[in-house]
Chains A and B, each alone.
Chain A
Amino acid sequence: MAEKDGRDLSVTSRLTRKELLSLYRQMQLIRRFEEKTAEMYQRGRIAGFCHLYIGEEAVAVGLEHVLTNKDYVIDAYRDHGYAIARGMDPKQVMAELYGRSDGVARGRGGSMHMYSRELKFFGGDAIVGGQIAVSTGLGFAVKYRQEDAVVVCAFGDGAVNEGTFHEGLNLASLWNLPIVFICENNEFGMGTAVSRASSFVDLSKRALGYNMRIDKVNGMDVLAVIEVIDRAVRYVKSEQRPTFIEARTYRFRGHSMSDPQRYRTREDVATWRERDPIKRLQQRMIDAGQAAEEDFKAIRSEIEQQVKDIVAFAEDSPKPPLDRLTEFAFADYKAPDQ
């Protein structure tokens, strides 16, 4: 089935009202989680570098709608949204932001380092492009064990100028690794516009140089993301080839909490805010008669309570004991497994 503009909507046109509301719910949860994070950061409860996902929610939520718990995900340091969309407990994510014992990394990681072994979520990499190199290892393991799974490796537009991007895409293509590379192009690598950093701005073309299938998507439209990811996952599994997707998106807040944003205007941000992925889905459902304003209001009020509980959990979580500072640096050795 195609929409008026010819886009393929074969997957999302079958989504039920319940599923659509669930997408709304997840995006709204991430939005409010991040807004709360900003608030608690400003109140000094959270420290360090803190990169919010506000504005980009449709990418992680759309992605996770398609993926299953067999699949692997690794991304960069703007990772709260990915962690929550993956299914990690937002309370533990918040506790990690607080640096507490109940945090996903028991207070050792912080904002940029969320992980879950059970959910095959490998972070949370705070070195730009580092996860692209690591993802080849995840892809190799999937292939080596002949698992029915894909690896999703997400990164920003800044990463395409790192050496790991080129080394990683080359190896993935050469070895036929089952990886979906997603470049979240939010127009800026910190404060530097893509056009000021990249020799050409059509970033998906970079992957053509590695003989890779490419696709592009409006990252402000969760349904479009689902369609594109669904096609990508089916392609990777059937062809046993990697693929590359460029998702055009935008962060409504600064790069991190300490960004005066002198590199863009208020008008720029306002224009992109009109494309808000959450409002877009809401309007679409209202227009289609699938839901009414009250339905969304009810969800939002549920989330308000949930976010309160999330913060209360983090506030109550104990600090990691100082005497266990060196724990986890290594496994406990002396006698190797003989």
Chain B
Amino acid sequence: MQKISMREALNQALREEMRRDMRIFIAGEDVGEYQGSFKVTQGLLEEFGQQRVLDTPISEQVIAGLGVGSAMAGLRPCIEFMTVNFMMLAMDQLVNHASKWRYMSGNILPVPAVFRAPGGGGQQLGAQHSQSLETWFVHAPGLFVMMPSTPYDAKGLLKTALRMEDPVIFLEHEGLYSLEGEVPEEEYLLPVGVGDIKRPGADVTIVSYSRMLHVSLEAARKLEGQGVDCEVIDLRCLKPMDTELVLKSVVKTGRLVCVEECWRTCGVMAEVAAQIQEFGMDYLDAPIRRVSGREVPMPYNKELEQACIPSAEQVIEAVNLTLGRKAAD
């Protein structure tokens, strides 16, 4: 088994799928000659040429429209946005177009396109470059949303996304590109909308995704030393969302802590918490706790920024609260 970074895993997924399917092309800002702003598309221009790896102008609406139109016409575009923040300029094409065309046309015109973007905070990039905007996409029927936390998941999910018949928003965390992990040499795909237990446990369920999954795992390791056995679940896909897996875990543990980097109000975990109380109230031994990003535009200063992003300590505190080991403040 190879040990590779998330960046390399994504690159392998793109490379393998492009070799397999001539309909796939990549377009985005600086994906070609520059080799990708986060180097995910490194070497692809060299292998596939400028017919299939296209540098675009800085025009997010039309980059997204290029994906929508070419997908409806039978190609398999893989559109890269330089960051999720810039996807805000393309929301019309993503939400008013990509997500709706299959339904609005009575199933005549599906939009099999993948829209990738890095995002998240922690790099001191300021308020306009540090956002976690996944809920914007999760909210719209018609879009699939994937947000992997490991190289293995990233490769398997991106390969799956590129074979799907509907638009997929594929969000990567800038802080995870260099994270290494084991990835099989042989080909594999991952199912859509299936979460993963990253750490089995019996006392408390922690549910998370993307970079916060690693913060949750860190908290679980520390809690193990305190005699608390946490089960850590990775949603992997936010739409569809595997809340069934979370519910099964809660049936076992009776306690749930939800960890997300996005803002709390109407965040991803607001949906998880709502579903678990709706379908699993009888199994809960304590109120569900959420650990979320602080509700301010992300500050630049390092300490201020770190104070906005959930930490292992905050997760530990939330777990302790559900265990009644400390009163809520």
Contact = CB atoms under 8 A, between A and B. Distances in A.
Nearest to B112: A331
B46 interface: no
A334 B192 contact: yes
B102 A164 contact: no
Contacts of B160: 336
B220 interface: no
Contact of A167 (B57, B108, B164): B57
Interface string B81-103: 00000000000110011000111
B189 A137 contact: no
Contacts of A122: 69, 72-73, 109
Interface in B148-177: 160, 163-166
Given A136-B69, A171-B62, A144 B97 contact: no
A144 B61 contact: no
A123 B70 CA distance: 14
Nearest to B105: A115
B97 A336 contact: no
Contact of A329 (B56, B109, B141): B141
A337 B192 contact: no
Given A137-B73, A334-B191, A115 B109 contact: yes
Contacts of A117: 108-109
Contact of A109 (B70, B72, B106): B106
Which of A104, A140, A327 has the largest count of B CB atoms less than 10 A from its CB? A140
A336 B65 contact: no
A319 to B, nearest CB: 14
Contacts of A327: 107
B118 interface: no
Interface string B22-59: 00010000000000000000000000000100101101
B106 A105 contact: yes
Interface in A298-338: 327-331, 333-338
B46 to A, nearest CB: 19
A175 B70 CA distance: 14
Interface residues of A, number: 51
Contacts of B164: 331, 333, 336
Interface string B274-305: 00000000000000000000000000000000
B215 interface: no
A137 B77 contact: yes
A285 B193 CA distance: 63
B102 A329 contact: yes
Given A170-B59, A335-B191, A108 B104 contact: yes
Interface in A58-92: 72, 74
Interface in B104-156: 104-110, 141-142, 144
Nearest to B56: A171
B62 A164 contact: yes
A113 B56 contact: no
B194 to A, nearest CB: 9
A151 to B, nearest CB: 8
Contact of B105 (A109, A141, A330, A333): A109
A130 B69 contact: no
Contacts of B69: 74, 122, 133-141
B62 A127 contact: no
A116 interface: yes
B74 A141 contact: yes
B71 interface: yes
B107 A106 contact: yes
Contacts of B74: 141, 145
Which of A107, A137, A174, A327 has the largest count of B CB atoms less than 10 A from its CB? A137
Interface in A88-129: 103-109, 113, 115-117, 122-125, 127
Contacts of A116: 108
Contact of B106 (A104, A141, A170, A336): A104
Contacts of A171: 56-57, 59, 62, 66
Contacts of A72: 73
Contacts of B96: 127, 130
B104 A130 contact: no
Contacts of A136: 62, 65-66, 69
Contact of B73 (A142, A163, A333): A142
Given A107-B106, A174-B57, A134 B68 contact: yes
Contact of B72 (A105, A138, A144, A175): A138
A85 B113 CA distance: 30
Contacts of A104: 105-106, 108
Nearest to B62: A167
Given A144-B70, A164-B61, 18 more contacts: A108-B106, A123-B105, A124-B105, A125-B97, A132-B65, A134-B72, A136-B62, A137-B66, A138-B70, A139-B69, A140-B70, A167-B65, A327-B107, A329-B102, A336-B163, A336-B164, A336-B189, A336-B191
14 contacts: A113-B104, A113-B105, A133-B62, A134-B65, A134-B93, A136-B69, A137-B75, A144-B25, A164-B62, A167-B62, A170-B57, A171-B62, A329-B141, A338-B163
Interface of A: 72, 74, 103-109, 113, 115-117, 122-125, 127, 130, 132-142, 144-145, 163-164, 167-168, 170-171, 174-175, 327-331, 333-338
